[in-house]
Amino acid sequence: MTDTDGIPGNINRVYATLPNATTVDLVFDESLSDTEAYYYADLRFTDIADIVALEGDYTFTVVDRDNPAVISIPDKLSAAAANMLATPANLSPAPDALVDSTTPTISWDAVAGATSYRVRLFTSWHSTLLWSDYIAAPATSWEVPYGVLEPGTVYAYRVYAYRGGTPVEDLDFASFNLLYFSWSPHFAVSTDPDSDGDGLSDSLENTGCTDPDDADTDDDGILDGIEDANHNGVVNAGETNPCNSDSDGDGIQDGTEVGLTLTDVGPDTAGGVFIPDVDPASTTDPTLADSDGDGTDDGDEDANHNGRVDAGESDPNVKDLKDVKAMPFIPLLLLDD
């Protein structure tokens, strides 16, 4: 419905008249549309009988500042109690949690009868920051996208559960986080988070070549924070380069040299880039191009760069004497006294 002149901006009040003849003012929801005005009311109940009592006819009244009020045709709410979804439980992050990431995963228990969910982030109790896309059941978690949350900031969130269709403005079958109206923060992002969980803080990664939202920037299978072992943003002696998949330049990836396989790497390692070691029992030094010191680089000995000594290849861990350059022969002329 709309007001008399069809201009949402000059609506003074919207209220619902309930079946028991009481009225409830509806609250403007600024998050759902830039061109239309949506209003809602959260009615809280502790007794199912109170809900059953509200089954019946509703009318909605839009009061315009400059024109007569508009009253809707009665809208019947039937079997509300039978159609209710439970409130999502075991929400995480927990109230007042401190998270060490700007991309935390929000999770909850499955709601019986729900076919999808949605998460809504708030910067305060009434200000929406972001709606998630619809999350199809049975999934019960959502990772906040990188770039949405800021370090040292507090946020609240609300989880909605839906059955059947998912119109944005229809929350009749939505359940919610009971802490939504709390003034205390639901969770806070630490002042120097590690959003990708690689062991390096976002602030450090933002000053260097690594990606704060990618735990394995070079996709060699080794987390950035393991490659930069002392977490100082510099490639020191004995460390591999988190921005170069082949730190010693021998043609074999660092992760392959240390014996990593597909089961050892995480989701931030690109499967199409990483070359798993097919013989993880044998490893080479990713910081030394010629591990056995025989004068031939590891990548030349392991010609197909798969970490295994295949037919026709030499072992990069065994010094091949034929590859060792002999000392030059210098003839000596010995003279008698």
pLDDT reported for residue 212: 95
Predicted model pTM = 0.61
The CATH number covering residue 177 comes to: 2.60.40.10
pLDDT for residue 219 is more than 60: yes
pLDDT reported for residue 331: 66
Verify that 226 and 315 share a domain, yes or no: yes
Verify that 52 and 176 share a domain, yes or no: no
Rounded Cα distance between 332 and 162, Å, is: 94
pLDDT reported for residue 330: 61
Verify that 103 and 161 share a domain, yes or no: yes
pLDDT reported for residue 73: 77
pLDDT reported for residue 1: 61
Task: State the average pLDDT for the chain.
Answer: 82
Structural tokens at position 8:
């949402």
**Mean pLDDT to the nearest integer, 115-132:** 84
pLDDT reported for residue 172: 42
Indicate the SS3 state at residue 38. Answer: strand
138-156 tens-digit pLDDT: 999 999 999 999 999 989 8
Verify that 76 and 101 share a domain, yes or no: no
Residue 279: φ, ψ to 5° = -135, 75
Q: What is the 3-state secondary structure (H, E, C) of the chain?
A: CCCCCCCHHHEEEEEEECCCCCEEECEEECCCCCCCCEEECCCCCCCHHHHHCCCEEEEEEEEECCCCCEECCCEEECCHHHHCCCCCCCCECCCCEEECCCCCEEECCCCCCCCEEEEEEEEECCEEEEECCCEECCCCEEECCCCCCCCCCEEEEEEEEECCCCCCCCCCCCCCCCCCCCCCCCEEECCCCCCCCCCCCHHHHHCCCCCCCCCCCCCCCCCHHHHCCCCCCCCCCCCCCCCCCCCCCCCCCHHHHCCCCHHHCCCCCCCCCCCCCCCCCCCCCCCCCCCCCCCCCHHHHCCCCCCCCCCCCCCCCCCCHHHCCCCCCCCCCCCCC
Residue 53 lies in a domain: yes
Range name among 26-30, 57-61, 92-96 with the lowest pLDDT average: 26-30
Parent domain of 158 = 97-189
The CATH number covering residue 47 comes to: 2.60.40
Verify that 119 and 61 share a domain, yes or no: no
**Mean pLDDT to the nearest integer, 170-178:** 41
Whether 31 contacts 131, CB under 8 Å: yes
Verify that 23 and 101 share a domain, yes or no: no
Structural tokens at position 183:
């003034």
What is the number of domains present in the chain?
3
Residue 195 lies in a domain: no
